[in-house]
A and B are shown apart, each in its own frame.
Chain A
Amino acid sequence: QVQLVDSGGGVVQPGTSLRLSCAASGFIFRNYAMYWVRQAPGKGLEWVAVISYDGRNEYYADFVEGRFTISRDNSKNMLFLQMNNLRVEDTGFFYCARPNYDILTGLEYWGQGTLVTVSS
């Protein structure tokens, strides 16, 4: 069965970096675009970034402002989110997610989330 396991969250100070990982299994990883979605405490879901199936194309939400980089290793079935210059407002759960079939269809599979806390 499809499984996504998020990891890499933690408590960091503003201005520092963190790298999130998502281990995928149960499907042909290299065939699917992949997303990161976050949820700040008490807030709603928010799209962060998406990467094409082959890793050639990356797209980011406006708030990222060049601070985050999404990447993937199709040989290891891994998705990553490198987050630099973290801000207090980046605090929240980060989820990796896989679309139903096409990059624009709904996100059918989600990781359990990894908590990022940015605090001084």
Chain B
Amino acid sequence: QSALTQPPSASGSPGQSVTISCTGTSGDIGGYNYVSWYQHHPGKAPKLMIYEVTRRPSGVPDRFSGSRSGNTASLTVSGLQAEDEADYYCSSYAGGNNFAVFGGGTKLTVL
């Protein structure tokens, strides 16, 4: 069982917006500003899309945005494109020596 809870799947049509949730506890998502989101195309290296809850690394389109409310973080992808179809994972620092807990992943399908 994953430490963070994500829906197994999400979908949207090209041009639409989709939001993926990631639920944790006050000991991880709700307690620290170290929430990250990763895009993973099978067979490739994961790609950092969001770090520190809302920040985007250089080169990541502003169609991707992160937010948090309480113990739940969210990734929103606006203006869906075919290449956005991938698995998305959330991650958070969980305190002490627990440097990263991941969600189980959400498979995003662009219809």
Q: Which residues of A contact B (CB under 8 A)?
A: 35, 37, 44-47, 50, 59, 95, 97, 100, 103-108, 110-113
Contact = CB atoms under 8 A, between A and B. Distances in A.
Contacts, number: 66
Given A45-B91, A45-B105, A100 B48 contact: yes
10 contacts: A35-B99, A37-B100, A44-B102, A45-B40, A46-B102, A47-B100, A97-B46, A100-B51, A100-B57, A107-B38
B24 interface: no
A47 B105 contact: no
B103 interface: yes
Nearest to B58: A108
Interface of B: 2, 32, 34, 36-38, 40, 44-48, 50-52, 57, 89, 91, 93, 97, 99-105
B3 to A, nearest CB: 10
B102 A45 contact: yes
Contacts of B47: 110
